[in-house]
Structure 1
Amino acid sequence: MLTEVELERYARQVMLFGKDGQERLKKSRVFIAGAGGLGCPVALYLAAAGVGYLRIVDKDFVERSNLNRQVLHWEQDIGKEKVMSVEEKLLAINPHIEIEALCQVIDQTNVSELVGDADLIVDAMDNYPTRYLLNRTAHEKNIPLIHGAIRGFDGQATTVIPGKSACLSCIFPCAPPAEVFPVVGVTPGIIGMIQANEVIKYLVGTGKLLTDRLLIWNGLLAEMDTLRFGRRFDCEVCGHGSSDV
């Protein structure tokens, strides 16, 4: 049940999706992979919205070069574990939620345990091998995945519902070359907020999700488009020959 303090805090949201919707947010468990450029705005807005439990996993420490875009890390956090820096800020923003911060590498030996019984997985990573691992885990556990990626002024986002929509491997059967990519700070802010918006819509059961659509943001032109796609018959994760079909 929502407390009187929570009802006051979330009053403008309750106007949108009622007490039941806000209570669903409070009871929800979200796994966020990454505490960097995308993970910071995702975690910030989900915490502010009242998502009750956030498990955030990232292996890195705060560096000065992060500060142009990773908005929950500040000058005094340099050298600190990113997940601890994020946890500190989120609890200051909203003390009514629970944060579990884990400084770990996400790999095939621990990803299933790390995701655990989450209601939803957020891909806020900066590399495709881990994204593919999260995508496969989402299908194995039948947990929705919210994907986001950025480069420079450009970004993309989509939502994967296992068994109902195309998966990340359908869209990107081959990973792009690994690189240290340029980025302006507003780009992960925009894409991260789109991801957070998808999370909230899914958890409260409202709106139309970005399933089978890839949202493309072009910051230089200030244009946003969506590309439609479908499940690939030969996809190794969700196609005809995969184990979950």
Structure 2
Amino acid sequence: MVALERVLENAQSQYCPSDNKFTCILSAKMSSPAPKSPELSDKSKKYDRQIRLWGEHGQTLLEAATVCLVNVTAVGCETAKGLVLPGIGGFTVADGSTVKEEDLGNNFFLDASYIGKSKALACKQLLQELNPDVNGDYVDESVDYLLENRPNFFDSFDLVIASNLNEKTLLLLSNRLWESNVPLLYCRSLGMMGTIRLQIREHCIVEAHPDNPQFDLRLAQPFHALQEHLNSTEVTSKVPWLLVLYKYLRIWQKEQPDGHKTPNNYKEKNQLREVIRKEMKADEENHEEAIKAVNTAFGAGTVPSALKAIFEDEACELLTKKSNIFWIMAKALKSFLIHDNNGNLPLPGVLPDMTANTDSYIALQNIYRQQALQDADQVYHKCQDYLKQLSLPPDTIDERSVRLFCREAAGLTVMRGTRIAEEYERNSRLLPLMEENEVQDNLTAYNFALRAYERFLSECGHIPGECTAEQDIGRLKTIAGKMLGDLGTHATISDDVLHEISRYGGAELHAVSAFIGGCAAQEVIKIVTKQYKPIDNTFIYNAVSTESVTLKL
């Protein structure tokens, strides 16, 4: 009982800024029940877990997107399933073939009742059953027919997903989509092997969601409102650790020759920790948190190398009416850094969780939020100036987008991809990678073998291993050798790898397709929501050894 009373005495409220709510840690004074959360809408209830990952704005982008699925294969259906369940806006299935008996063994989306019927229709119906809120459509035409007779068919989609094509069709489709600036996600699933290849011209990411984000606290150079608050607030055991750290940082700085530096190395950080420990009394949790924060509390706010590259990019320097709003905001941000903020990034206005009483935490958070709003407002007005210069309407960029852009400024990323056709040219990036890493060698060999398999389909018109296995292996080996020779390398693919590819006889294993399809759907969501970094640009998986690698080809 005594122990419980002691815990209750030391209990405090803790504020979690990421959830925008208070959590009470065994608060003895809290006698009335906590207020109920507002009722969630049906959509929010349905998609609650994923909205926690990419937010309401991400869900809105997902629900506005439309994709095209080319070829009804197991891996294609699994990819589409991973998009229909979270609520993609719409999908269209394009396949001119009918369901055959052999399709039932590797694709759980098909059953015997669909034999002889349109694959595209069957896939569309079964996918739509998973989520009636998603719009589904189908086209009973092959991708070859569409490319020849309706080349603009794919231009209206936000992204195209294709799988298990022959080489000729793959290159025609990828080149057409590259010209139309429509992203392509190409998946392969053959036996125990699977690959994903993303082809995209340019992808601008605002919310990269880094694994270990650093909070920008500006303790080294406090802005005016923060400086006043830090100097006027008494440091007790109830205030946030940020005030504790600032107090002892000033004491430590007076002992340094220049008097203004921040601790940059292990020795200096350790000295600051010792200064705090000397003055610390028992059970001062905020002091303990301050000691732990010494490692991460300094250094944020400067321009990282990736952002410098964005500022120096031609797309940022030379804006046009067709410029992505990302580049307009990037130029406005650059102007703000140079002319208004002494080279520092706009303040994100986000604080980490801290053990403190409610009033002191809220007061501190409001100071950071107000400064963040002021910084974002200046960037927004610069955006409006650029829009006026480009004769674009003011509502092209709204304040909410600018605030998000400023909050995430430290993690802004631009990814520029390559055409799939470039992998078949002599300057392919794949060649030097073949000798860099043993695991990559093995997986790279399988990637080449799968490409040889696709060329075999184009040249021979049937699946290797389907008829005469030994003869097909010889042809496959000849094709692989010529492919590598055309790239300017004397390397060879081992007979074991080619035997393995032929042994599959074109069969998909649904377990492997489900894994590849799940990964592919994840990459589509990253692109559509413009959050998280997608693969750049090839993922290879071997289910036999459970090895995988990501390469930029």
**Following superposition of structure 1 onto structure 2, how do residues 138-217 of structure 1 map, counting pairs within 5 Å?**
138-162=177-201, 164-173=416-425, 176-178=455-457, 179-180=462-463, 181-211=506-536, 213-217=537-541
3-state SS of paired residue (1:201): helix
**Structure 2 counterpart of 1:46:** 83
Paired AA for residue 43 in structure 1: A
Matched positions, count: 226
* Cα distance, 1:113–1:185 mapped onto 2, change above 3 Å: same
Structure with higher helix content = 2
Q: Percent identity?
A: 23
Task: Work out the CA distance in 2 between the residues paired with 1:68 and 1:193.
Answer: 20
Q: Does 1:16 align with 2:53?
A: yes
Pairwise CA distance, 1:75: 2.2
Q: Does 1:79 align with 2:358?
A: no
Alpha carbons 1:41, 1:71 under 8 Å: kept: no
Task: Work out the CA distance in 1 between the residues paired with 2:149 and 2:94.
Answer: 11
Task: Work out the CA distance in 1 between the residues paired with 2:521 and 2:150.
Answer: 21
TM-score by length of 2: 0.39
Alpha carbons 1:52, 1:98 under 8 Å: kept: yes
Q: Which moved more, 1:118-127 or 1:89-98?
A: 118-127
* Cα distance, 1:183–1:91 mapped onto 2, change above 3 Å: closer
Alpha carbons 1:160, 1:167 under 8 Å: kept: yes
Task: Work out the CA distance in 1 between the residues paired with 2:157 and 2:185.
Answer: 13
Pairwise CA distance, 1:68: 2.3
**Following superposition of structure 1 onto structure 2, how do residues 13-162 of structure 1 map, counting pairs within 5 Å?**
13-107=50-144, 108-162=147-201
Alpha carbons 2:99, 2:117 under 8 Å: kept: yes
3-state SS of paired residue (1:54): strand
Task: Work out the CA distance in 2 between the residues paired with 1:125 and 1:101.
Answer: 19
* Cα distance, 1:152–1:10 mapped onto 2, change above 3 Å: same
Task: Work out the CA distance in 2 between the residues paired with 1:171 and 1:6.
Answer: 43
**Following superposition of structure 1 onto structure 2, how do residues 229-240 of structure 1 map, counting pairs within 5 Å?**
229=553
* Cα distance, 1:126–1:69 mapped onto 2, change above 3 Å: farther
Pairwise CA distance, 1:11: 0.9
3-state SS of paired residue (2:105): coil
* Cα distance, 1:24–1:201 mapped onto 2, change above 3 Å: same
Alpha carbons 1:47, 1:90 under 8 Å: kept: yes
**Following superposition of structure 1 onto structure 2, how do residues 214-225 of structure 1 map, counting pairs within 5 Å?**
214-225=538-549
Task: Work out the CA distance in 2 between the residues paired with 1:200 and 1:111.
Answer: 27
Task: Work out the CA distance in 1 between the residues paired with 2:150 and 2:45.
Answer: 37
Alpha carbons 1:111, 1:137 under 8 Å: kept: no
* Cα distance, 1:151–1:172 mapped onto 2, change above 3 Å: farther
Task: Work out the CA distance in 2 between the residues paired with 1:49 and 1:87.
Answer: 16
Pairwise CA distance, 1:162: 2.0
Task: Work out the CA distance in 1 between the residues paired with 2:511 and 2:141.
Answer: 27
Alpha carbons 1:69, 1:186 under 8 Å: kept: no
Task: Work out the CA distance in 2 between the residues paired with 1:201 and 1:60.
Answer: 31
Pairwise CA distance, 1:67: 1.6
Alpha carbons 2:65, 2:89 under 8 Å: kept: yes
Alpha carbons 2:75, 2:510 under 8 Å: kept: no
Query: Any idea what the Cα deviations from partners look like across 1:32-52, whole Å, max 9, x if unmatched?
Result: 111122221111111111111
Pairwise CA distance, 1:18: 0.8
Task: Work out the CA distance in 1 between the residues paired with 2:150 and 2:54.
Answer: 33
Paired AA for residue 53 in structure 2: L
Alpha carbons 2:201, 2:417 under 8 Å: kept: yes
Query: Any idea what the Cα deviations from partners look like across 1:109-168, whole Å, max 9, x if unmatched?
Result: 235332131111112243222211221111111111111112211011121112621121
Larger Rg computed on CA atoms? 2
Alpha carbons 2:541, 2:549 under 8 Å: kept: yes
Task: Work out the CA distance in 1 between the residues paired with 2:521 and 2:63.
Answer: 15
Task: Work out the CA distance in 2 between the residues paired with 1:24 and 1:75.
Answer: 37
**Structure 2 counterpart of 1:235:** none
Pairwise CA distance, 1:228: 2.8
Q: Once superposed, which parts of structure 1, at least 4 consecutive aligned residues long, lie more than 4 Å away?
A: none
Structure with higher strand content = 1
